[in-house]
Amino acid sequence: MELPHYPPLQRSDIVAWLRETSEARLEELWRRADLVRQQSVGGEVHLRGLIEISNHCIRLCGYCGLRVDHRELPRYRMTADEIMACVQEGVAFGYGSVVLQAGEDPRILADWMADVVRRIKADSPMAVTLSLGERDYDELALWRAAGADRYLLRFETSNRELFERIHPPHPGRVSDRIAILGTLRRLGYEVGSGVMIGIPGQSFDDLAGDLELFRALNLDMIGVGPFLMHPETPLADPQQQSVAAPGEQVPASELMTYKVIALARLLCPRANIPSTTALATLNKNSGRELGLVRGANIVMPNLTPPKYRVHYEIYPNKACIQESAGLCHQCMEVRIKSIGRTRGSGRGDSPNYVAR
């Protein structure tokens, strides 16, 4: 099948799609994104096993329930053996990779993490993705040398002033996630980033800028999801909420999330793009499937033991919070089959990374 030729999307086209309300026009966007997805990354849906290894965090992100001053949240940090037990479950389910995610937790020591990466690489054929926040160059280099393949760090919003408002720097440090993404690229990682959709204060133009930045950064993986308000965070406080000018504020809606997934696919055809848990939280019945038929090609079943998973509460009412790893796995398989797609085999490296 030949890809029809579409002229490259400009900022004004992106804004127009983000504001589009005609169902018929949007059907055209979904069709295009699905076609480009099929042509660029194929019909397979890759499964990544997510292990939420620690919910300790030293940061004060205005949006996230793991922020350090959310004192009521019971905190946990998994042991290396507990992580390895989850990894073995992932192997048994045939996953091609695991994602180890955590708050920004300095007690995840660099050498300890490097050992865990080495153990996973020695005991399984899986690719290892890390998502541990803003870490120093030496740590990122050490983990890469230990065998880590990929790193995920969302820049959250390309509007620098908004980013600084919702993501205060840690005292004595500069928070420059774009610079860290450059470092990750130079270290040879497969690089992933993304944004939240509908952050209070995020305008349509900001979101179009985010999408353009995905293209400029030539990302290998792109994760986007709606902003979901956590009552114990500053962004839930009406006094502290600043919204964009009238008619400019992006809604944190399911529809807007599909638009961003579809546009990300058109702008970065060979990137791996997940249909995220935050999207599934807005539509538990069919959010995952709709993301997959509107540009996405990845799902991330949760391998975290349920006793910990309930405390990885970045926002309330998270999808899949009570399920065991086995149930999550079966559920994803059924959903993939229901849309006529197949499960990916192998590590599912980003074709963008492979081409580079």
- Binding-site ranges for ligand SF4 (CB under 6 A): 57, 59, 61, 64, 66-67, 103-104, 133, 314
* C-alpha dihedral sign at 103, 107, 108, 110: positive
**Nearer to ligand SAM (CB atom), residue 36 or residue 102:** 102
Is residue 135 within the footprint of ligand SAM (CB under 6 A)? Answer: no
154 belongs to the binding site for ligand SAM (CB under 6 A): yes
Residue 292 interacts with ligand SAM (CB under 6 A)? no
User: Which of the stretches 14-22, 62-70, 79-87, 258-266 binds ligand SAM when contact is defined by CB under 6 A?
Assistant: 62-70
Spell out, one character per residue from 163 to 202, where the chain touches ligand SAM: x when CB under 6 A holds, - when not. Answer: ---------------------------------x------
Q: Of ligand SAM, ligand SF4, none, which one does residue 315 interact with (CB within 5 to 8 Å by kind)?
A: ligand SAM
> Is-contact 127 81, C-beta < 8 A?
no
Shortest approach of ligand SAM to residue 198 CB, angstroms? 9
Q: Which does 230 bind (CB under 5 to 8 A by kind): ligand SF4, ligand SAM, none?
A: ligand SAM
Q: Are 316 and 228 in contact (CB under 8 A)?
A: yes
Among 41, 50, 64, 146, binds ligand SAM (CB under 6 A): 64
User: How far apart (Å, rounded) are the C-alpha atoms in residues 52 and 72?
Assistant: 19
Nearer to ligand SF4, 52 or 220 (CB): 52
Q: For residues 300 and 97, is the Cβ–Cβ distance under 8 A?
A: no
Burial pattern 92-103, b for ≥16 Cβ within 10 A else e, equals ebebbbbbbbbb
How far apart (Å, rounded) are the C-alpha atoms in residues 277 and 288? 8
d(CA 70, CA 74): 9
Judged by beta carbon distances under 5 to 8 A according to partner kind, the member of ligand SF4, ligand SAM, none in contact with residue 278 is ligand SAM
Site for ligand SAM in 202-261 (CB under 6 A): 225, 227-228, 230
The piece of 5-13, 18-26, 40-48, 153-161 that touches ligand SAM (CB under 6 A) is 153-161
Q: Beta-strand (E) ranges in the chain?
A: 44-54, 97-102, 127-131, 150-152, 190-197, 221-226, 298-299, 342-343
Backbone angle region of 202, left / alpha / beta, with phi > 0 → left and psi within -120 to 50 → alpha? beta
If binding means CB under 6 A, how many residues of this protein chain bind ligand SAM?
Answer: 19
CA angle, residues 266, 280, 300, in degrees to nearest 5: 75
Q: Is 63 in the site for ligand SAM (CB under 6 A)?
A: yes
Stretch that binds ligand SAM, among 37-45, 96-104, 108-116, 142-150 (CB under 6 A): 96-104
For the record, the structure tokens of 199 come out as 């952050």
Q: How far is the CB of 57 from ligand SF4 (least distance, A)?
A: 3
Structure token digits, residue 250: 């992006």
**For residues 296 and 280, is the Cβ–Cβ distance under 8 A?**
no
Return the CA Rg of the chain. Answer: 19
Nearest approach, Cβ of residue 64 and ligand SF4 (Å): 3
Among 54, 101, 158, 272, which residue interacts with ligand SAM (rule: CB under 6 A)?
101
- Contact residues toward ligand SAM (CB under 6 A) are 63-64, 66, 101, 103-104, 131, 133, 153-154, 156, 196, 225, 227-228, 230, 278, 314-315
